[in-house]
Structure 1
Amino acid sequence: MRLKGPWPVRLRLILAFLLVGVPPMLGAAYLASALISSSFEKNVGQWLTETTRFVIVEITEREDDAAQIAAALTSTVVQAGNESVDALKAALKPYQHVLAADGFDVLIIYDGTGTIRYNSLNFTPAKTLPASVTRAIFAGTLDGNPVLVAGATVKLSESAGTLYLFLGDALDTSSFSSLKAVPSLQLDFFAIRGEEAIKLYETSNLSTTPPKAILQRLATADDPILLDDPPGDLFLAAVSGLKDQDGALSGFVVCGVGGEEGLDGPEQQLRLLWVVFLFGALVFVLAGALVSARFVKPLRALSQGVRSVASGDFSQRVPETGDKETVELAARFNAMAAELEEARAREAELARKERLSTLGEAAMVIAHEVRNPLGIIKTSSDLVRSRAKLGPKEEELLDYVTEEVHRIDNLLTEVLDFAHPKEPRRSVFLLRDLVDRIQGFVAPEMTRKGLSLTIEDKAAGASVSADRDQLYEAILNLVINAMDALKSGGRVTVRLAASASGVSIEVADNGPGVKPELRRRIFNPFFTTRAKGTGLGLAKVATVVEAHQGRVECLEEPGGGARFRVTLPRAVSDAASAFAGQGQGVS
């Protein structure tokens, strides 16, 4: 499938890594496969040699065991005073089952001429048994089948003619059962009959007969011989000879591994070459992927940022990471996004003020139109009250009319005040004095509701240039809203803070708080979450604060609750003294 359009940078980087790395990787893979194959062959050859030597040692130990057991039996029989063959057979019979359980199932009594007087099994030695004490491999037949026996001879008696005892272990599958735990090992035993090698025991059906040249070397060699080019299906093999009582080669042992276990040959080396090559290619691909990911990640972040800005999210910023050029590009993008965000905020503010102005004009027209009939209703109700004799029920109804007229008139006054706010009559005063005045005003109501108010003043001596009454009403409105949101036991906190250029007043409570989706709309006129609210309280707060070149925000209080922050410029003289104090180290 052909890719449409330009290839991704990451894919091109990975391909570049592969193109640069493939030629040397092929050479390295070839050398690695050759070294691995050679090292593997060397290690396998050493293992086979040691295994063959272990097998020979095992056979030798069986010969030693046979000599020790035969000597012990001779001592027991001679001490019993047994001299005839029948008596010796009777004396040895109780031990035969124990000996057979240990593998020594061949027990022969013979005289000095080699004539067998007693044979526990139908074992026929290939050579006359020696008239001497010895231990060796004895070739022969057992029930007509070739066999090798690891055994020993001892002198048994001399009183009625010299008799000898032969004790041996016929080598079969049970003699080396421990080697079956290695499934990859091919173990074979051969007996020599003239120039023919007869297989006695095998662990598989692999062809393992060594060539005659190796048999000639075994006749004179004491150590195992490693076959570099083994016959049949073997990959590698080691051969060791077995000598009889005369030192002649009576058999041999072959330890090898099959061709499927090895790394030799064109197919195996090609397979190994591919394995090494693919592993190296995978390493190059991973390296290319990691490097390209590190290189492409800042570009992806920048691309995502561009898409976000294009969709209208000017708050998007990208990490300034990567190389110098990428960092510079990200920094320029962030600066552009910040400028766009500020421009959008200014446009939104202008649009909001324009909407408020239009709304104010409409509200003023509506208020004037409503006030005229409202005045007629009030005058008419007063006239009816003064001229007519009314009963209690009629008086109560007129009271309702008068109260509603006053309520609507106050609402209209509030709308007109919002539509045409008064210009601030500025004076310089301490911010703490304003907060103390508010605390004194709300104290009785807070006591009645079981609430508390705490002032945290970190702006000691800070003053503002503002309309005292307007700012008082704005902050009082925030405190009353906080009180209305609380139940008995609630807490209102007023925090004062100051910097060299401005002061802030925060009104926080531990009530239910304001939902995040409502915080941007909460200062809009006529927006309210209360059943009886007009929605002008916080809008008037925002109008007053903006008239003083300040800013008001609705935030989330840590631990739960609402928090409103009003930020105002500091009084000019106070800001200058504060800046001078900071420069002189005064806190």
Structure 2
Amino acid sequence: MTKESGRLRRWLASIQGKLIIASLLISLVPTSIAADLSVRLITHVVNNDVQSFLHETSALFLNSFKQSQSEAAGLARFLYEQKRGQPDPVVKADGAFLHLAQTLGYSVVVVSDRDHRILYSNYPIQHIEPLSPEVRNTLYALQLPDSNQIMTGGSFVYEAGGGSYEILVGTWLDENFIENLQLISTLDLRFYYRRPSGFQMIYSSRTDAASGTPLPAEVTSELEEGAESVYDPQAEDGGYRALYLPVRNGRGEMIGVMSAGLKSTELPSIWDLPINILITVFAAGLGLTAIAGLFVSRRLSRPLRALAAGVKSITAGDFDHRVDASGEDEVAELAQVFNHMAERLGYLQSLEVDLRRRDRLSALGKVAVGIAHEVRNPLGTIKTSAELVRKAGHLSASDTKLIGYVIEEVRRIDGLIEEFLSFARPREPLRHRMSCASVVERVATFCEPELSRHDIALGVVDESGDTMIDADENHLFQAFLNLVLNAIDAMDKGGRLTILLERRDDCLATSFTDTGPGIGKDIIDKIFDPFFTTKPRGSGLGLAKVFAVMESHGGRVECQSSPGAGATFTLILPISKPD
């Protein structure tokens, strides 16, 4: 329990805990207001959604009328075209046409004269009357022996035998007319049609609705005045929410009204459960606030932890460490400053290493030059004396061999001293405008036998174009040669050496990449130091000479390597500026 309480105290004391608690406290009042506004907004949205749904439903119902009337008129014309030219002027539908019409959803075919006397019908229809005689392709009232039915359809009028006839194809206006809307049991679809006594209901999807029910007077008044629709949230004494759409003829006269309604009991008022809604919205608001606070706190604390880790890495000497600086806020700006600081520290460290190396080289050169002069004098005496002893001719074979060893070792030591003196006291470079590619070609030609003997493939890629530099060709040749020889020693079992020349802004970079074992991180900072070598008989001056040549030419040398992945030495020299 003590451990858990300690964790809680630490969390509360952290920036993350403080931000979350502050977010919750600040959000109490806004969340309460938001809960109240949410209730009002939900009520408004529900009313708008209901009104929109009823409007779309009514429009769908009217489109069903228009579509059925247009299709029915086309079928009537199709029937006339089939029977045209027969002796009987009265067109009659055969079984094939009736099957086609029923497949398309039309079951009634009636042929009448201009006085609406029925001359042919596939139903025992006794009388037919358009509900609005001035409108063609509309609704019809049909009198059957045992009932009266309303039919919607379309007609085609033709002339034959001196008389005028009308073919009427239609479908019953019943519950099957809009089957897709009948799936909603709480939906009440009604159609009111203008009759001499006013607008009366001729169709309803409810079985308990009385036919002939008049349209409410206030709805009729608003629609007659030009309203596009009327929404009544208290239709039928509050039992329904209904929307009314007018149906107008070609002259703009309203001949019918379509209505769609939903039971109010199926849409309970939001205010019936205000406490539950308030509590739900309030709790949801606090939860979202806590989540937002957690997100913000993590967004803030994570980069701060990364900065702390970066400071620890810099303190430990890892100046290559970088932190994520994405974003545009103050934390990202701080991260960018930190990365810039780390980069500058790394650069200063490299400068310090170079300065220390130069100091060591300078001090070593001064001491070594004096020692070399002192050593060369007795070496010359030893060599001369040994040669005189060997020429005396009275030595045995074994003694002559030993004297030969002495002379050979003296020559080797003299060669090392000469090499070191050339390193410690190099001559000034004799610069002239030249192409670095020519030096690379010279080195490649010179080393070709040695490369072939060690089974090493050499590839030269020149992307420098006509870039020129001011340099001493012999100095560069010696530096390039040292790098190639080091690569040959590194790839004792064969491999590939690639030399790449490319221009980088105002500099020319020449890279030597081998496929050898690479250089360990623990020694990569020491490879340019004099006398540092990993070879059994190496002098340790090869890379130190390369470094000195680059320094004397105002350039620099870089090394990139990973153990097992080879090494790349890059010599960077400033390009020659035009006179």
Q: What TM-score results when the alignment is normalised by the length of structure 1?
A: 0.51
Q: Is the 8 A contact 1:557 1:563 kept in 2?
A: no
Q: Deviations over 1:543-573 (max 9, x none)?
A: 1111111111222389932221111111223
* SS across alignment from 1:518: coil
Report how many aligned residue pairs link the two structures.
Answer: 337
Show the counterpart of 1:342.
Answer: 347
Deviation, 1:389, is: 1.8
Identity %: 43
Report the counterpart of residue 533 of structure 1 in structure 2: 538
1:493 alignment partner in structure 2? 498
Alignment correspondent of 1:564: 569
- What letter matches 2:388 in structure 1? L
Q: 2:513 is paired with a residue of what secondary structure?
A: strand
1:512 to 505, 514, 517: 517
Query: Structure 1 CA distance, aligned partners of 2:571 and 2:34?
Result: 72
Tell me if 1:373 matches 2:378: yes
Separation (CA, whole Å) in 2 of partners of 1:397 and 1:388: 14
Q: For residues 321 and 298 of structure 1, do their structure 2 counterparts lie closer, same or farther at Cα, with a shift above 3 Å needed?
A: farther
CA distance in 1, matches of 2:544, 2:332: 43
Q: 2:458 is matched with which residue: 453, 458, 466?
A: 453
| Contact in 2 for aligned 1:298/1:322 (Cα 8 Å) | no
Which of 395, 404, 412 is 1:399 aligned to? 404
1:389 aligns with 2:366: no
1:8 aligns with 2:10: no
Counterpart in 2 of 1:89? none
2:553 counterpart residue number:
548
The partner residue of 2:439 within 424, 430, 434 is 434
2:334 aligned residue (315, 329, 332): 329
RMSD, aligned CA = 3.6
User: CA 1:6 to 1:374, structure 2 compared with 1: closer, same or farther past 3 Å?
Assistant: farther
Instruction: Provide Cα deviations, 1:32-85, integer angstroms capped at 9, x if missing partner.
Output: 9xxxxxxxxxxxxxxxxxxxxxxxxxxxxxxxxxxxxxxxxxxxxxxxxxxxxx
Instruction: Name the aligned partner's letter for residue 17 of structure 1.
Output: S
Alignment CA distance shift 1:409-1:557 (3 Å): same
Classify the secondary structure of the residue corresponding to 2:13.
coil
The structure whose Rg is larger is 1
Q: How is 1:188-199 mapped onto 2 (pairs within 5 angstroms)?
A: none
Q: Distance in 2 between matches of 1:489 and 1:366?
A: 40
Deviation, structure 1 residue 403: 0.8
Q: CA deviation at 1:318?
A: 3.2
Report if aligned partners of 2:19, 2:297 keep a CA contact under 8 Å in 1: yes
The structural deviation recorded for 1:15 is 0.9
Match of 1:471 among 469, 476, 479: 476
1:178-237 C-alpha deviation (Å, 9 max, x unpaired): xxxxxxxxxxxxxxxxxxxxxxxxxxxxxxxxxxxxxxxxxxxxxxxxxxxxxxxxxxxx
Aligned-residue offset at 1:353: 0.8
Look up the match of 2:420. 415
CA drift of 1:477 comes to 0.8
**Matched-pair contact (CA < 8 Å) for 2:517–2:563:** no
Q: Classify the secondary structure of the residue corresponding to 1:497.
A: strand
Q: Extract unaligned runs of 5+ from structure 2.
A: 39-277
The residue type equivalent to 1:7 in the other structure is: A
The alpha carbon displacement at 1:323 in A equals 4.8
Distance 1:274 1:373 in 2: 104
Question: What secondary structure, in the 3-state scheme, does the structure 2 residue paired with 1:517 have?
Answer: coil
Kindly report which structure 2 residues correspond to 1:63-462, keeping only aligned pairs within 5 A, or say none.
284-310=289-315, 312-462=317-467
What is the Cα deviation at residue 320 of structure 1? 2.6
* CA-to-aligned-CA distance 1:489-530 (integer Å, 9 cap, x gap): 422222111245111211222222222332222111111111
The separation in 1 between residues aligned to 2:452 and 2:403, in whole angstroms, is 35
The whole-number CA distance in structure 1 between the counterparts of 2:534 and 2:343 is: 33
Match of 1:483 among 488, 500, 507: 488
1:129-157: per-residue Cα shift (whole Å, max 9, x none)?
xxxxxxxxxxxxxxxxxxxxxxxxxxxxx
Q: CA–CA distance in 2 between the matches of 1:5 and 1:292?
A: 12
Q: d(CA) in 2 for partners of 1:292 and 1:4? A: 15
SS at match of 2:380: helix
Contact 2:560 2:569 in 1 (8 A): yes
- CA distance in 1 between partners of 2:563 and 2:503 (Å): 21
Q: Which amino acid aligns with 2:23?
A: F
| Contact kept in structure 2, 1:550 and 1:566, CA below 8 Å | yes
* Alpha-carbon separation, structure 1, partners of 2:540 and 2:365: 14
